[in-house]
Amino acid sequence: MPPVDILAADQVQLSLEIAQSKHGAITLPIIGRAATKGSTRMVPHARTGKLITIADNDAALARWTEDVQWVAKANRVPLRRKPAGIGIRVWFLFERPASVSVAERPFMTVTPDVDKMLRAALDALTGIAYEDDSQVVDVHAVKRYSARTETILQLWEEQP
- Tens digits of per-residue pLDDT, 3-13? 444 455 565 56
Check residue 20 and give its pLDDT.
Answer: 55
160: pLDDT confidence band, cut at 50, 70 and 90? confident
Strand ranges in the chain using DSSP code E only, listed in sequence order: 26-31, 37-44, 51-57, 86-95, 136-146, 150-157
- Rounded Cα–Cα distance for residues 92 and 49 (Å): 40
Check residue 22 and give its pLDDT.
Answer: 67
Count of structural domains, the chain: 1
pTM over 0.85: no
- Rounded Cα–Cα distance for residues 26 and 33 (Å): 21
- What CATH number has the domain bearing residue 16? 3.30.1330.70
Helix (H, G, I), strand (E, B) or coil at 15: helix
Instruction: Tell me the chain's radius of gyration from C-alpha atoms.
Output: 18
Domain with 134 in it: 4-157
Check residue 5 and give its pLDDT.
Answer: 40
